[in-house]
Chain A
Amino acid sequence: MTAVPALEVTGLTVRFAGLTALDAVDFRVAPGTVHAVIGPNGAGKSTCFNVLSGVYRAASGSVRLGDEELTGLPPHRIAALGVARTFQNLALPPTATVADSLLLGRHRLTRTGFVAAGLRLPSALREERRHRERVREIAQFVGLGDALDRPAGSLPYGAQKLAELARALCMEPSLLLLDEPVAGMTADERRRTAAVIAGVRDSLGISIVLVEHDMGVVMRLADTVTVLDFGRRIADGTPAAVQNDPAVVRAYLGEDAEEPS
């Protein structure tokens, strides 16, 4: 068992053509906890994820995962360190089967190259078989066990989001970034997804960073919360403390803050 490292974000600043999307943001995610990043639309939550996963370049500041500095690395190197993420808008090829999408999640854990795959070398077949089994387990864990052979695009939206979550889990991450995992889901799907996320935290012991608008889910799952507004951190702490923070209430102006559960 590898130890799950802490995530330390300090002074993270991102600028696009003069616009400051993130302004000196700090937060820390302790190993094995769920940390939520919330804020109104345009607060910089998704930008934050894009920097954490290496898609965007930071102007300054640092993102450290254990001993590794992530800001200089391209996405695939960050993935190799055990950082997995899902996307706010689905990034699941609609025609590929769920099994193939999940197997893609195994990419970093597998080695088969062009020659081995083309010639169907025994090593490739063995690897494929072993990882297909693991993919099946993970699919069953999120409740998609019987959807493996179907094209992802034929599933309902909620199931597709779950498939994307499963794909991220297939990477066996030590840090999981979930970008609005329950957005667009029915109440039932929300409940299920929240249960899956809680299950991941409890059983795998990995760290999770969550961007989410659904305050019910945030309050239920998160151990700590960072609130962003216009790229700045306006609050940070436990869900209960943040909820009563006047700055947060002002930022939301009664939008989401009125429906905590």
Chain B
Amino acid sequence: MTTFAELLLNGVSLGSVYALIALGFVVIFKATEVVNFAHASLLLAGGYVTAVLHDDIGFWPALLAGVAGAALVGAAVEFLVMRRYRGRDHSVLAIVTIGVDILLVTELTRRIGTNVLAVGDPWGDAVLTIGSVTIAETRVAALIAAGLLITAFLLVFRHTSWGVAMRAAAESAETAALMGVRLGRVSLGAWAVAGGLAAVAALFLTVFPTPGLERSTSLAAMKAFPAAILGGLDSTTGALVGGLTVGVTESLATGYQSDLTFLGRGLGDLAPYLVMIVILLVRPAGLFGTKELARV
């Protein structure tokens, strides 16, 4: 029972980190209808900046720099690439993000090489013990940070003019433009915010018990994709629920790995995708996604 509670708690914490990534992904989709396959590389960029700077300028400034860096990369991608596309086919734009992803990941993995970069977080490998349940401090920090950021984001999304503009653009870009919404700014903002959220997530994907930032960190970040789509690509609620589902699934599958050896090693990395498949079979638009009116 204790094991289960620990796994669940870890899963929720991990899930909240995935939710951060998925939220950014959904925000870009809502604002621009683009599925951003370069999302994992935004995360890697943020994590990389934090990792290389923390020795010189200290952890917190480095984290801020990471967030700013990833936001900048996101904004640059939007401004230099996405905005230049003249066609209307959003699947083609999704492929452009794949090209961007290839470029960013190649550059970052070349820089990282075979190293494992520490991010210099203040928590180290300290653990908290509550009753019989033991949990790493990093996990608690992740849960709190993700919770705060998500709440802040949702408040902004509901109540500021930028949030309103974004939601208007999500409803109908054309109408929003006619109402005076500057679509360019909305989309630029979405990419920057998504980058910033991803950079925070990068921190929590690379702290204890993970050894640090390495090439494969982007693979871990990709679990935000199933999170976003099983929740429903156009739903912020979906991103949260999806993130938690993926986190808990991964945590449980990894934790009970020893009881499931017949399924092979590394089950934790696979399980989220299997859950996604099952959910898509039942609900093609995801748990909270808008079901299309058209029956085609």
Query: How does the 8 Å CB contact mask read for A99-130 relative to B, with 1 for contact and 0 for none?
Result: 00000000000000000000000000000000
Query: How does the 8 Å CB contact mask read for B270-296 relative to A, with 1 for contact and 0 for none?
Result: 000000000000000000000001111
Least distance between B140 CB and chain A CB atoms (Å): 40
B296→A75 contact, CB < 8 A: yes
The answer to whether the Cβ of A230 comes within 8 Å of any Cβ in the partner chain is no
A74→B295 contact, CB < 8 A: yes
Contacts of A50 in B (CB 8 A): 294
Least distance between B158 CB and chain A CB atoms (Å): 19
Query: How does the 8 Å CB contact mask read for A40-62 relative to B, with 1 for contact and 0 for none?
Result: 00000000001000111100000
- A10 to B293, alpha carbons, bound, how many Å? 22
Contacts of A55 in B (CB 8 A): 293-296
- A74 to B293, alpha carbons, bound, how many Å? 12
Contacts of B294 in A (CB 8 A): 50, 55-56
Chain B: residues with Cβ within 8 Å of the partner, total of: 4
Contacts of A56 in B (CB 8 A): 293-295
Which residue of chain A lies nearest to B293 when distances are taken between CB atoms in the complex? A56
Contacts of A16 in B (CB 8 A): 293
Which residue of chain A lies nearest to B296 when distances are taken between CB atoms in the complex? A75
- A73 to B295, alpha carbons, bound, how many Å? 10
Least distance between A174 CB and chain B CB atoms (Å): 22
Identify which of residues 54-92 in chain A touch chain B, using a CB-to-CB cut-off of 8 Å.
54-57, 74-75
Q: Classify the secondary structure of A's interface with B.
A: loop
Identify which of residues 152-180 in chain A touch chain B, using a CB-to-CB cut-off of 8 Å.
none
- A74 to B296, alpha carbons, bound, how many Å? 7
A75→B295 contact, CB < 8 A: yes
- A16 to B293, alpha carbons, bound, how many Å? 8
Query: How does the 8 Å CB contact mask read for A10-53 relative to B, with 1 for contact and 0 for none?
Result: 00000010000000000000000000000000000000001000
Least distance between A179 CB and chain B CB atoms (Å): 15
Least distance between B179 CB and chain A CB atoms (Å): 18
Which residue of chain B lies nearest to A74 when distances are taken between CB atoms in the complex? B295
Contacts of A74 in B (CB 8 A): 295-296
Least distance between B211 CB and chain A CB atoms (Å): 49
Least distance between B254 CB and chain A CB atoms (Å): 41
- A55 to B295, alpha carbons, bound, how many Å? 5
Which residue of chain A lies nearest to B294 when distances are taken between CB atoms in the complex? A55
- A56 to B292, alpha carbons, bound, how many Å? 10
Which residue of chain B lies nearest to A57 when distances are taken between CB atoms in the complex? B295
Which residue of chain B lies nearest to A56 when distances are taken between CB atoms in the complex? B293
- A75 to B294, alpha carbons, bound, how many Å? 10
Least distance between B287 CB and chain A CB atoms (Å): 18
- A54 to B295, alpha carbons, bound, how many Å? 7
Least distance between A123 CB and chain B CB atoms (Å): 29
- A166 to B290, alpha carbons, bound, how many Å? 35
- A147 to B293, alpha carbons, bound, how many Å? 35
Least distance between A206 CB and chain B CB atoms (Å): 24
Least distance between A22 CB and chain B CB atoms (Å): 13
- A74 to B294, alpha carbons, bound, how many Å? 10
Which residue of chain B lies nearest to A75 when distances are taken between CB atoms in the complex? B296
- A55 to B293, alpha carbons, bound, how many Å? 8
Least distance between B228 CB and chain A CB atoms (Å): 23
- A56 to B295, alpha carbons, bound, how many Å? 6
Which residue of chain B lies nearest to A14 when distances are taken between CB atoms in the complex? B293
Least distance between A26 CB and chain B CB atoms (Å): 23
- A54 to B296, alpha carbons, bound, how many Å? 9
Least distance between A127 CB and chain B CB atoms (Å): 25
Contacts of B293 in A (CB 8 A): 16, 55-56
Contacts of A75 in B (CB 8 A): 295-296
Which residue of chain B lies nearest to A73 when distances are taken between CB atoms in the complex? B295
Least distance between A153 CB and chain B CB atoms (Å): 13
Least distance between A170 CB and chain B CB atoms (Å): 20
Contacts of B296 in A (CB 8 A): 55, 74-75
Least distance between B88 CB and chain A CB atoms (Å): 11
- A195 to B208, alpha carbons, bound, how many Å? 77
Identify which of residues 233-247 in chain B touch chain A, using a CB-to-CB cut-off of 8 Å.
none
- A55 to B296, alpha carbons, bound, how many Å? 7
Which residue of chain B lies nearest to A55 when distances are taken between CB atoms in the complex? B294
- A57 to B293, alpha carbons, bound, how many Å? 8
Least distance between B148 CB and chain A CB atoms (Å): 32
- A57 to B296, alpha carbons, bound, how many Å? 11
Residues of A at the B interface (CB closer than 8 Å) are 16, 50, 54-57, 74-75
Can you give 7 contacting A-B residue pairs, CB < 8 Å? A16-B293, A54-B295, A55-B293, A55-B296, A56-B294, A57-B295, A74-B295
**With A50-B294, A55-B295, A75-B296 already in contact, 6 other A-B pairs whose C-beta atoms are closer than 8 Å:** A16-B293, A55-B293, A55-B296, A56-B295, A57-B295, A74-B295
Closest 8 CB pairs of A and B: A55-B294, A74-B295, A75-B296, A56-B293, A57-B295, A55-B295, A54-B295, A55-B296
